[in-house]
Amino acid sequence: MDLGIAGRTAIVGGASAGIGRAIAAALVAEGVQVVLSSRDPERTRAAAAEVGAAAGIAWDTSDVAGADGLVDAAEAAVGPIDIVVVNTGGPPAGPDPLAFDDEQWEAAHRNLVRSPMALLRRTLPGMRERRWGRVVGIASTSVREPLSNIVLSNAERSAALSAFKTLAREVAADGVTINTLLTGRIATSRMAEMHGSLERAQAAARDAVPAGRMGEPEEMAAAAAFLCSARAAYITGTALPVDGGLLRGV
């Protein structure tokens, strides 16, 4: 299927590894001029070269004001931005939801809500003027079925999802769509960290996930690429689980 986005421009966040990198590679394969972003400058440049991105620009989402610099640099490299993939690392996990201090809550809010909104404040007006744009957020199935050991993620990703839903209704008539992918158990370093190893995470998924396995980052990327496409013009304000059937709710 021709996704109809060859020649479009994109910023993909959290893209030096895992899901973000897979999405960047999928968009490059569709002919999109991708600006790959992540926190570490060296890893960002290396990943950009490896996937064939147009540029690699470092941005730490804890620096909310730095969103302006990222967009300025991206537009200098590829022109006005048509596609934004909002993807950030998860905040700390822990079994006691009351154990996190104010600084940790503020950091989670800054990374998962304020920085994405700062990025969209800069990019959405241009999309609306050009009457074409795509935003895809990467969240978690925990926004629908909260997990006890990741309260920071549960709360702040839910807030971001609500903000995206609100924005989606505002910009829909301008040809701009905003959707979110809800990750289940995807084979990334985050899952390895939470289970002690990727092998343990795979073993746990065999029992917990109806598909009998963890998903691959490339499977997330395929869903993201479609939501970024011209074909998905009538899909907006959605939260799509990519979870192998993990969620129990309808």
> What is the predicted pLDDT for the residue at 36?
97
Locate 46 and state its tokens: 């290396």
Q: Name the residue ranges covered by the structural domains of the chain.
A: 9-242
Q: Tell me the percentage of the chain whose pLDDT exceeds 90.
A: 93
Percent over 70 (pLDDT), the chain: 100
The CATH architecture one would assign to domain 9-242 is 3-Layer(aba) Sandwich (3.40)
- Average pLDDT, integer, range 102-116: 98
Q: How many CA atoms lie within 13 A of 77 on its CB side?
A: 22
pLDDT for 192 equals 85
C-alpha pair distances (Å), 181 with each of 78, 130, 156, 208, 247: 25, 25, 15, 20, 13
pLDDT tens digits for 181-213? 999 999 988 888 888 898 999 999 999 999 999
Give the pLDDT confidence score for residue 195 in this predicted structure: 84
Can you give the pTM of this predicted structure?
A: 0.96
Each residue's pLDDT tens digit, 62-96: 999 999 999 999 999 999 999 999 999 889 999 99
